[in-house]
Amino acid sequence: MGNRIHIRRLYRATWNVRPFQRRLTATRASCGPKRDNFGDNGVVAHFPAEPFGYERPGEVPVRGFVHRAASPSADAFVLTHGAGGNCTAPLLVALAEAFAASGLNVLRCDLPFRQLRPHGPPSPAGAKRDQDGIRQAVTLMRQRFSGQVFVGGQSYGGRQASILAASEPQLVEGLLLLSYPLHPPGRPAQLRTAHFPNLRLPTLFVSGTKDAFGSVEELESAIKLILAPTRLVPIEGAGHGLLTKLNREELPKAIVKAFNAMFRAKKGNDQAFRI
């Protein structure tokens, strides 16, 4: 039986952000009878997600969940979703748990378009506001944590994060792009790479070998446009969603391992990753 993500407590959190001061106030609410939940390795899950909300007049709101690092850490990660999902997507939850276990504070958040409506794809006219939402999330994490901040996303969320990072290279220390939508399915000539030459920060790509939005070979060719360090992690047998019944246990671990080797290892690591 596979490991499941278990949350012992539900937190309602409000962030009050003032110049040079942040304050998180939280009240715990019961989630029913207290019980211990164990995975296959016998370890209790100790990484509850804290509901997160930030809204100020005239500013782009941020809504999602914070996963605090298992050990004291100043580094943080903003993680967001694709065009058809939200921040509760199973892959994002599993990754947030895995990154928190490895020592990163993670905010997985809904993009502004998803906050406006629970279903449906984003509008091209709203892409700039979605980028503003990512920037706001990064700013809030920088105010809370003093270390490095990374940003990543699945499909559309990753694409908007990369466009933002291309125009603001000092925003974050690195990018994680999950299932980057290189082109619409069946239209390989319509490449979404115009901003790639302007990317000036390390970027980790994770893509399935059966992704209709771009093959591994197409991605390998496209990322040569990026002058900063890059790495591509192919996920065998996975489509655009990446997470499958066969890899749901190992995929988050493999992504975290590749991420840590590229961004957080003390020494360089040229190890190739494939699962």
Tell me which residue has tokens 């850490």: 73
The average pLDDT across 218-240 equals 97
Tell which wins on pLDDT, 221 or 24.
221
Say what the pLDDT of residue 193 is. 98
Does position 221 have pLDDT exceeding 80, yes or no? yes
pLDDT value at 213 more than 50: yes
Q: What is the overall mean pLDDT for the chain?
A: 82
Query: What is the band of 48 on the pLDDT scale with cuts at 50, 70, 90?
Result: confident
Average pLDDT over residues 14-19: 34
Highest mean pLDDT among 40-49, 170-179, 261-270: 170-179
Q: Which tens digit of pLDDT belongs to each residue from 242-254?
A: 999 999 999 999 9
Euclidean distance between CA atoms 177 and 113, whole angstroms: 19
**Predicted local distance difference test score (pLDDT) of residue 47:** 62
Closest C-alpha among 137, 142, 67, 51 to residue 104: 67
Are residues 65 and 11 in contact, defined by beta-carbon separation less than 8 angstroms?
no
**Fold type of domain 10-264:** Rossmann fold (3.40.50)
Q: What is the average pLDDT across 250-275? A: 72
pLDDT digits (tens, 9 = 90+) for 150-208: 999 999 999 999 999 999 999 999 999 999 999 999 999 999 999 999 999 999 999 99
Question: At residue 240, does pLDDT exceed 50?
Answer: yes
CA atoms 112, 113, 118, 122: torsion sign: negative
